[in-house]
């Protein structure tokens, strides 16, 4: 049996307008990760393997959690939302989101255009992204034990899309709901994935941390 403990990175640079600028944790993002690391230390600190993607915000989250990294895996990296959003603007005149409300409307459109192959020429296709995510988790599921994986919201949403048989609308809702530093638990047993926890934030549930709960 394998238990996958999947963590979304802490809050990144939410004011960024491009992928490079986005790829760093905010001060709050580091604090979210420290709180999560302390929670694991108090509950079940043992992991047989700790991995993250290669993105700075993913690696920094694992580091701030206080866990030694067993290496990075490019398959856990996020898709290029900013690049796809720019392509959607250039081709269809759909403006890039300027705030959280815009993002809620924008994300389902982007996923639909991307899946249909209407944007993303020269970039990773929707099908290729889906294939690499499912291959990565299938690989870790075969390792056995308790594995910590620090990744991004789009990766988590794609994995859950497949586990739960979601359409684009459901996929977008999962992606939008995934909180910074949230914990998702999937058990792999007898060749099947079982979702045992989604979007957990036990480290942020105290009343004095209410303003530390973020989505972007």
Q: Are 157 and 169 in contact (CB under 8 A)?
A: no
Alpha-carbon torsion angle 187, 143, 151, 36, nearest 10: 70
- What is the topology classification, in CATH, of domain 2-78+125-212? Rossmann fold (3.40.50)
Domain boundaries, the chain: 2-78+125-212, 80-123
pLDDT value at residue 83: 95
Q: Which of 73, 47, 50 is nearest to 145 (CA)?
A: 47
pLDDT (tens, 9 = 90+) of the chain, 216 residues, equals: 999 999 999 999 877 778 888 999 999 999 999 999 999 999 999 999 999 999 999 999 999 999 999 999 999 999 999 999 999 999 999 999 888 888 889 999 999 999 999 999 999 999 999 999 999 999 999 999 999 999 999 999 999 999 999 999 999 999 999 999 999 999 999 999 999 999 999 999 999 999 999 998
pLDDT value at residue 100: 80
pLDDT value at residue 216: 86
């Amino acid at each position: 049996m394998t238990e996958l403990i999947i963590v979304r990175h802490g809050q990144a640079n939410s004011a960024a307008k491009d992928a490079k600028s986005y790829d760093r944790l905010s001060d709050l993002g580091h604090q979210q990760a420290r709180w999560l690391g302390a929670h694991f230390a108090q509950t079940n600190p043992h992991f047989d393997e700790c991995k993250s993607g290669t993105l700075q915000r993913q690696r920094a989250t694992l580091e701030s959690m206080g866990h030694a990294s067993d290496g990075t895996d490019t398959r856990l990296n996020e898709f290029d939302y900013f690049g796809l959003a720019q392509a959607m603007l250039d081709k269809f005149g759909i403006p890039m989101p300027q705030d959280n409300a815009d993002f809620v409307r924008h994300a389902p459109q982007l996923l639909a255009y991307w899946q249909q192959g209407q944007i993303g020429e020269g970039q990773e296709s929707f099908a290729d992204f889906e294939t690499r995510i499912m291959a990565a988790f299938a690989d870790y599921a075969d390792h056995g034990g308790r594995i910590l994986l620090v990744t991004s919201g789009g990766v988590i949403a794609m994995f859950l899309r497949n586990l739960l048989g979601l359409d684009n609308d459901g996929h977008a809702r999962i992606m939008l709901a995934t909180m910074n530093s949230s914990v998702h638990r999937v058990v792999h047993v007898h060749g099947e994935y079982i979702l045992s926890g989604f979007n957990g934030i036990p480290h942020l549930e105290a009343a004095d941390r209410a303003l530390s709960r973020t989505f972007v």
